[in-house]
Structure 1
Amino acid sequence: MQSSIQLGYTLRDRYLVKRVLGQGGMGRTYLAEDLERFREPCVIKEFIPHPSSEDATEKAKELFRREASLLYQINHPQVPQFRANFEIDGRLFLVQDYVEGKTYRSLLRERQQMGRTFHELEVLDIMQQVLEILEYLHDRNIIHRDISPDNLMLRTHDQRTVLIDFGVGKEMATHLHDIWGATIAGKPGYASPEQLRSGQVFPSSDIYALAVTALVLLTGRDPKDLFDEVSLQWQWQKFTTLSPGLAEVLERMLRQRPIDRFADAREALLYLRQSQVQVPTMAVGRSAPMTNLPDRTLVIETAPPTRPQPQFSAQRGGTNWLVGAAMVLLTGIGSWVGFSLFNQRQSAPIPEPTPAVPANPTSIVKDLNFASDPNNATVTDRIAPGQKIIYRFTAQKDQTMTASLTGANLEMTLLYEDQKPIDERSSKLTLGYWKGKLPASGAYFVEIRLLEGTESQEFSLGINLLSPAPPPRRSRPKKSQNQSRPLRLR
């Protein structure tokens, strides 16, 4: 393999190489500064072909340029933007945006040091984001080929998942397999069976790799520990317990034959959203301790209506008696019949009205405690039938809020300003998870109810508030000291 580029060298009088980010069988990745964009960081990927003949080398270069044109077509906010491609002394380079953040491999290691892994709803959120990216790519006949925790990043400024480091595309891989006689596949353990056997990939190959990634984040185990080579079955169940909905989705994503999996990301995403998973959760990147309920609690009870009492008229009863007596005195035996009929009518029971049932549940309003961490609050509580528990707190406009509710048979609504829902997704949630940008500064409320016909239930509520990052400062471009120097290798 060719030597790496000397650090501090400027490629094309524009890209100042700062350090090596990674190296593999297909090439290297460098962190650089773009001198024509105020020293903005960027990533330079060097593709290093090693075919055995001159014709094969030219074919590899042609395929590289075709691959660059394919990446140029991608315009998605969660995929690093393609900037340029060029060739220097037979060496091939791609330039893409730099993503500030941590890979999910790094985040998993940090959690494992604390004896933790990712929670199920965190992984559900990651899967939904990646499937949305893959839906965009698959619609354009682009397959990533190399999905793993190493190639998914949590971007710092907006806490969104970003898909990085595209593997060699399907067409290019097929040609290079024919040229070199070797399969260019994804990472062992993550790559699908068909990809490992022949290098051939389909949209469902990305689906397979994403499912393996999800299991690794959930269990903290390597793929080889989760897969039984004898039965050719994934056996993750002894390492974690998942809700039936997500377990069913993952099992289908992991099937051996491509035809038995979801056909593409759109189908997998639709099925995942319909699964209505409800499980314990915490916001991504959060490890706030459980806090006690604040002492100040306001209970608002709706008094049942007063039960109406039957009314009797003594005046009416007395008048009727006098009339009856007069009839006896005046008519004798004939009046006896009239008095008997009247007395029978008076002795009939008067029906009592049905008691009214209170229409409104008891409302319990509590303040969320952000004392230990201004960005996180977590509370454990219990709700009974006929109760509505409302947690209130203040937040700022454009903050990203993550609300996660743990417990069964619960309904959550997120409100602000005169008890209006934050958006169309925040009302009567049974999934127990919401994430979005807040529309205004002021008071916010989380309203929790039991579903109809269910018993008392314990639950946990977590709120994470993330303020938008300030825009990066731009430094003035400096003239390169080595623009005229030849390319030096080490």
Structure 2
Amino acid sequence: MIELLGQGGMGHVYRAQDTRLQRTVALKVMNERFAKSPNSRKRIVEEARSMAAVHHDNVATLFEVGQRNGTPFLAMELLQGATLEQLLRSGRRFNPDEVISIADQVALGLEAAHDRGIIHRDIKPANLWIQSPTERVKILDFGLAVAGSAVQGLARGDSVVGTPGYLSPEQARNETVDERTDLYSLGVVMYELCAGKVPLLASNTPTQLVNILCREPLTLSQQKRSGEPVDVPEPLERLIMRLLSKEPGQRYETAGHFRKALSSVSEQIHESKQAGLAIEVEPDAVNGSSVQEGSNSNAAKKATRGGSGKVLLAVGGLAAAVLIGGGAWWTLRDRPAEDSPAAPVREASSPEASPAVLAAQLGALQLTGKVIADPEIPVGEMARFRLQLTNQAESSETDPRVRYSQAGQVARITTYLQQEGQLKRKAPAFPRSFSPRQLPAPGETQSIEIQFLTNNLAQEQFDVIFELQSPAGALVDSTTSQFEVAENLQSGDLLGFDTVRTRAGKGADTYVREGSTEDFGKQPVVVAHRDGANGSNVLAIAFLRFDLTQLNPPAGAGSDSASSVLERIERSALLLSMAPESHPGAGRILVHGWPLDLSTSNGTGPLDWSETGDGFLRFANSPVANGMDGMVPLGELKFDNSGEGLKDRPDGIRFVSKALDDFLRSSTGVVTLVLSQEGWLGDPTRFNSRDRSLELAPGLAVRWKTD
């Protein structure tokens, strides 16, 4: 780290040097106090995921995310310039063209994020960087992009929530938000650039929320700045006030639609300027002129509002024919109306109305989909789905992109949830809208990701229904999938669980390495490793044995048989701790169960293999010598040891799956789990073994069913 660049509520930002790639970066490091909170650590990881998912010139580029000594960090591109907040505080004022340029660039970045299913939720001047000298805008800080609602954070006094002055009404109401919440916040930013203040502000958060929900802001023309009326062209004022509508449905539907309207406003302002020449005249020079005031000249003034303390005259016709003075006025006043100074300013031509989009004409579009990951989603985690939108049009006549080329929106995907015996309801995911250019070409398929949080969903089975609809909501096509919201055992407290470790009873742990006859038992670590880079051929696989008979039996078990007791296992979790010198990054481990009917070449089974001495496991006589065929797949364990943040953290890694529960229920009471690395990694994944310490030894946590 070279120097401190800034600091905020949750951490510090440093100028730092990436020694591997020899580049200077901005390093965002979380405060120690927040690093101790699982929610705060999760937030910075979610921020990284959101930023990494959006590749766009108007979004700051993320290079790396990791942890060092348990403290999370983000490495991002180092930007020259300042935040929009810093520029406002320095006293800089922005003219209408600059406001439009900034808003357009922010909308471009938001459009890219929204296309990936990501809502920023915290658009404000402090999160908008103006690069120097290009004036390019970069959106910063995606820390709230997939977090809970901002008002929940306010109620807790949490420092990671959005700034109250920029919250949308739906955020203040603690409702599910969609992409239009970002457009509201962008409207607040534009208002502030014009007026020097946000539209609704109070001295405390409760009053601020009431204002956002109940009070209408003053229009920009009603505001004053430094004692003078705020001067903003009327088309721009109307656009900004529409963004500030209380109801999302009254705003622009998407960032793309907003940009189209913004472009039209820019053209109107430009054409208004071209329609009349604004001549600045000292007040004394005008006093002697007989200037005719009328509604048309007023309209011209309003369209080109700008400046104060001087008089603006809108004069039609060629600039070379314009003369100032009483005689010149009398010469010009008898000209036809179209050449007269009082001629009305020509309005920007309105686009030709596009035909209504009919569901019957969208039949060429087909929707299919599937769950991206495990259909069992821990409560509070993100449910992610991958959909495919295919255009099967056989001619331009049936291609919706051509038929509705002038439409702002052609189709949308709305997500619904349905529980057994209940009516379907909208899922907490905003509809995905498609303009003509966003649809796939005929014969092509576009992949679309839909995601939403499961915080407020019951722990039950759900049908998730994706409907392809016309802009009016008429059904075009649909596809259905299923998922289950399950108890979050990955990060929640393991209340009611009893744990047995590889040190107890017949427990054991070791690993084998291909090509080696060495005895790896009684070592402080077990290793899972696979690498084939640079001509190497490394394969190490870990074995963990647990004796479930060492657990405290469930209440009322009495003299029940072992199989009867094991059938009462409700949930389970494999617990591991990362050893020193392990792979310092993300990795995946495949977990398998060694079934009773699978023996090694020398007749050894899952119950009687040894760490050392007679019967010790080595690769050649292990059940994996010829691959994982015959093993029971239990699932994939994912970890992120960036910066060795998991090193020696007791039970810092958990693996949970229904398949593991079933495997334990069907066992005799002693089980062997097999860990193999998925993919190649240069460094081995090393877990602490039973010989390192009791608290760091591999464990198996079990919760019994209760009557």
What TM-score do you get using the length of structure 2 for normalisation? 0.35
Larger Rg: 1
